[in-house]
Structure 1
């Protein structure tokens, strides 16, 4: 959910912080008070198009910051992990600054990101629907994914099986295309591979050789320093009047008296342990000194060898191990190209088998989608009926993608199958079905979108849904139906709703009133959360306009009582 929103120097807003709650939050107020400006700010926060016009006059930049609370397995967790952003506390903060020059600075949990990344994350958190916006649900490209999401885990498993086959299918296609390229390109590639393999082979590289040579070079290059310091260390420990001899004397003295006191026995044991450890250390130093040998010729060889390896690294990998792995890879490619004809035949056989398997799973997907389409159509008709659009016809058209291959139409496979899906609708009897994206705007469109959101909100994983005056152009029983539908959507997802309908306002769990006032000759927007009495007064104002009568107050109270009954039954 969107927990808190802070806006600074944005349009007519000076500084404004709003805390939001779960469920349905209604925003109401006079026209021009700043309701839509708040929604515009949220739109920019999730990656909408910015402009210097949004910056409050006389200020250097507008700032918008939102705190969202999320729970796994929300898709935003995967996005954040890919960006290296920690969401272990279930909190994500989006921030966007827009300068008076129109430049945007975007951050997610304090990390600078591009506007594109902010948009990807933001639109996974918030879905805004307004009267004049192209919506996710209206875009034909999204209808296939929406239908699949309606199928739940069963559909997801089938789709995952298909996509595994599809990846293998594309990999085989790539290999076959590579082998069937023109002869000149293949020969050029063969020459290059032969040259690279010969160059790497002549170097006779060994695993981790560069690290071992670096270590040996360090020792030889610091021979004098190593010898002098180790000699000093050994002489300080071993010999007459040296460290170990003094420790030996101390140990002997303690052994003479340790039987007199238990505490002295512990001291004797402690000193004894250190004595033997020092003897072992001195022995190790002596052996190391004996192994030291300065060999200028060996140092020259190492320098030359590392230089040769460095040249290979610039071409084939950052380490010797990577170069060896690269050689193994191109050796396999060489074998593939040298036996091109037999490999082409084998690849075509494998491709034919995988294509058949892909076709079988694609057919399964198609049949599953047909069944889902029927189920979803019935569900949407029921939603529309509850919104008094019982004569509306909704249809999900599922077609097959094909491609011409040697004069024959064959299935075209994409990452999501070989289907294309688009929603069609007819809102008036006798009118032909038209694509949902081309349905006329207004009250009918608002109800259609609301019906779709009622079904898909739980499948989309959206944290917050915002309705910006989607109830425009409706009244009476339709207004009540819309109010109930918006409330039901809010049960599964936080909903923020700008409305002028008292029926919708009565259903609110939280009612925010937006107003503006003039201070120091500047207009400022204020937001206050209404208590139960203030909420009744605001609903009364929405019913009657400016003048409030006893009948209006009674009507407002009736709406609130009706809303409570509906909430209990929900």
Structure 2
């Protein structure tokens, strides 16, 4: 759920901070007060398209920030944030967006900079905004299959995973077969290229550790004079009359009898002796190193040539010698396949046919699971429509098999072979048609609420926002819509902009949006109404400008009815 929203310099809003509660929050106020602007702010915060026109006149940027609380361990936002490398602490997500007057947007999720596209990925798991004229998921036929799968839950997910395991293998074999059955000229060119590359890599006779050894040896030969001089200086600093070993040897002799005089000095002679013999042994090693030193310009030329050869190969086949060798092994395998092409084609064709048979069986099982879920979904939707006085409406989940138009062959996809679209008719005697082409006006509001009542439980979205979806209805339909919106809020936090007193009466929290002019500038204000203020506002919604004692009484009656309905 969204817990807090902060808006600065956005449209006519100078500065606004709103805390939201669970359940149903209704926003009311005069036309133009800024109700839809608040919804626009949440829409942009969740990754919607923005514009510099949203920045308050005279300001450099608009700032939007929202705090969302995740109360379910398996909330979809956790998975999305994990994939994006965003940490979630204390079950909270903070979305922030700055829209500059220049048109630039800066977006952050829990403090991490993200693109608008990534902000949208996170935002769409947290907020679902539905407006009267906005095309939503439920009206998009391309998404009806995924909605059905969500409704079907674990049963469909299990069958879909079984199908996907075979499908992925099938597509891999199909790709390999396609590569082998391409035109002869292309295969011949590929064969020539691979043979050239394999020969070039093989001829180089690479060794995994060779480059490091050559670099070390080149460094040694290139610095021959410096190395020779340093070793010589070391050796003659230790050996010779009045040199290092001579003085240490004298110290060793002087310290031989120290322990006879002072027991505490027993280790002095031992330490000096050890140092003498270690340095003596080291001096012999230095001498041997000097004797073995040799400057060979031909060897240096060979090393440079060999390193250059490796450099050229790395430009073509990999950034390291190891990667070059791996590439060489890979193309050797491909060469073997191409050189024995006919045999491999036959094997792949047999494998593909076997996988296709398995895939057909898995697809049939998945389709059957979806048909059962579709039947249950239709029953649930009809119940919701009946509650909204659309008892004569018929909702249908139209399922078909995806086939090639030319060959009538079944086409496999990553989601199976099914094509799903929701159909509807609201008038008796009229044929079922795609849902997006049937509903309009007041009917659309009720149909969308019925669908939302079902799918809100399966989508895992924390906050659902209805922006004047109750336009064009009145009377008993208005009451039914109010009750249905409240039912949705039981499982999801719901915010609703409404002009219906019936909806306002059902609210758990009632926010009143107003505007005032200060120093020739318009500002939007938000305040939560107490019980008496709520009665007055509902009275205004019933009668218009003039509020009489009768309208107040009517408002109280609506609140009493709403309270009784909530308890039931």
User: What SS does structure 1 have at the residue aligned with 2:125?
Assistant: helix
Tell whether 2:21 aligns with 1:47. no
> After the TM superposition, which residues 407-556 of structure 1 pair with which residues of structure 2 at under 5 Å, given as runs?
408-556=407-555
| Structure-2 separation of matches of 1:227 and 1:507 | 94
| Structure-1 separation of matches of 2:481 and 2:328 | 67
Structure 2 match to 1:35: 35
User: What SS does structure 2 have at the residue aligned with 1:416?
Assistant: coil
Structure 2 match to 1:56: 56
- Tell whether the 8 Å contact from 2:61 to 2:98 is kept in structure 1 after alignment: yes
Stretch moving more, 530-539 or 190-199: 530-539
| Structure-1 separation of matches of 2:85 and 2:11 | 33
User: What SS does structure 1 have at the residue aligned with 2:365?
Assistant: helix
Structure 1 match to 2:402: 401
Tell whether 2:138 aligns with 1:133. no
User: What SS does structure 1 have at the residue aligned with 2:308?
Assistant: helix
Structure 2 match to 1:21: 21
Q: In structure 2, do the counterparts of structure 1 residues 229 and 344 end up closer, same or farther at CA, with 3 Å as the change threshold?
A: same
- CA positional deviation for 1:153: 1.3
Structure 1 match to 2:352: 351
User: What SS does structure 2 have at the residue aligned with 1:42?
Assistant: helix
User: What SS does structure 2 have at the residue aligned with 1:97?
Assistant: strand
User: What SS does structure 1 have at the residue aligned with 2:514?
Assistant: strand
> After the TM superposition, which residues 268-307 of structure 1 pair with which residues of structure 2 at under 5 Å, given as runs?
293=293, 295-297=295-297, 298-307=299-308
> After the TM superposition, which residues 221-370 of structure 1 pair with which residues of structure 2 at under 5 Å, given as runs?
221=222, 239=245, 257=263, 293=293, 295-297=295-297, 298-370=299-371
| Structure-1 separation of matches of 2:287 and 2:472 | 95
- Tell whether the 8 Å contact from 1:238 to 1:282 is kept in structure 2 after alignment: no
| Structure-2 separation of matches of 1:221 and 1:323 | 28
Structure 1 match to 2:559: 560
User: What SS does structure 1 have at the residue aligned with 2:419?
Assistant: strand
Q: In structure 2, do the counterparts of structure 1 residues 505 and 193 end up closer, same or farther at CA, with 3 Å as the change threshold?
A: same
| Structure-2 separation of matches of 1:239 and 1:390 | 109
Q: How many residues align?
A: 558
- Tell whether the 8 Å contact from 1:238 to 1:245 is kept in structure 2 after alignment: no
| Structure-2 separation of matches of 1:192 and 1:37 | 62
User: What SS does structure 1 have at the residue aligned with 2:117?
Assistant: helix
- CA positional deviation for 1:165: 1.5
| Structure-2 separation of matches of 1:383 and 1:280 | 93
Per-residue Cα deviation, 1:100-152 (whole angstroms, up to 9, x for no partner): 34343333334443333332332222111011111111100000000011111
- CA positional deviation for 1:419: 0.8
Q: In structure 2, do the counterparts of structure 1 residues 217 and 87 end up closer, same or farther at CA, with 3 Å as the change threshold?
A: farther
Structure 1 match to 2:6: 6
| Structure-2 separation of matches of 1:84 and 1:274 | 59
| Structure-2 separation of matches of 1:563 and 1:256 | 103
Structure 2 match to 1:69: 69
- Tell whether the 8 Å contact from 1:244 to 1:278 is kept in structure 2 after alignment: no
| Larger Rg belongs to | 2
- Tell whether the 8 Å contact from 1:244 to 1:275 is kept in structure 2 after alignment: no
Structure 1 gaps of 5+ residues are 259-263
Q: In structure 2, do the counterparts of structure 1 residues 324 and 544 end up closer, same or farther at CA, with 3 Å as the change threshold?
A: same
- Tell whether the 8 Å contact from 1:239 to 1:245 is kept in structure 2 after alignment: no
- CA positional deviation for 1:337: 0.7
- Tell whether the 8 Å contact from 2:170 to 2:356 is kept in structure 1 after alignment: yes
- CA positional deviation for 1:157: 1.5
Stretch moving more, 514-523 or 524-533: 524-533
> After the TM superposition, which residues 37-186 of structure 1 pair with which residues of structure 2 at under 5 Å, given as runs?
37-70=37-70, 72-186=73-187
> After the TM superposition, which residues 367-386 of structure 1 pair with which residues of structure 2 at under 5 Å, given as runs?
367-386=368-387
| Structure-2 separation of matches of 1:230 and 1:550 | 109
Per-residue Cα deviation, 1:217-251 (whole angstroms, up to 9, x for no partner): 455555676777789999799846569979x979x
| Structure-1 separation of matches of 2:165 and 2:249 | 70
- Tell whether the 8 Å contact from 1:25 to 1:510 is kept in structure 2 after alignment: yes
| Structure-1 separation of matches of 2:497 and 2:449 | 14
User: What SS does structure 2 have at the residue aligned with 1:403?
Assistant: coil
Q: In structure 2, do the counterparts of structure 1 residues 55 and 224 end up closer, same or farther at CA, with 3 Å as the change threshold?
A: same
**RMSD (Å), alpha carbons:** 3.5
Q: In structure 2, do the counterparts of structure 1 residues 289 and 539 end up closer, same or farther at CA, with 3 Å as the change threshold?
A: farther
Q: Please, what TM-score do these two structures have when normalized by structure 2?
A: 0.88
User: What SS does structure 2 have at the residue aligned with 1:411?
Assistant: coil
Structure 2 match to 1:261: none
| Structure-2 separation of matches of 1:145 and 1:349 | 33
| Structure-1 separation of matches of 2:22 and 2:234 | 72
Stretch moving more, 18-27 or 521-530: 18-27
Q: In structure 2, do the counterparts of structure 1 residues 203 and 499 end up closer, same or farther at CA, with 3 Å as the change threshold?
A: same
| Structure-2 separation of matches of 1:275 and 1:159 | 79
Stretch moving more, 279-288 or 323-332: 279-288
| Structure-1 separation of matches of 2:485 and 2:91 | 26
- CA positional deviation for 1:255: 12
Q: Please, what TM-score do these two structures have when normalized by structure 1?
A: 0.87
- Tell whether the 8 Å contact from 1:387 to 1:481 is kept in structure 2 after alignment: yes
Q: In structure 2, do the counterparts of structure 1 residues 305 and 448 end up closer, same or farther at CA, with 3 Å as the change threshold?
A: same
| Structure-2 separation of matches of 1:159 and 1:414 | 11
Q: In structure 2, do the counterparts of structure 1 residues 17 and 196 end up closer, same or farther at CA, with 3 Å as the change threshold?
A: same
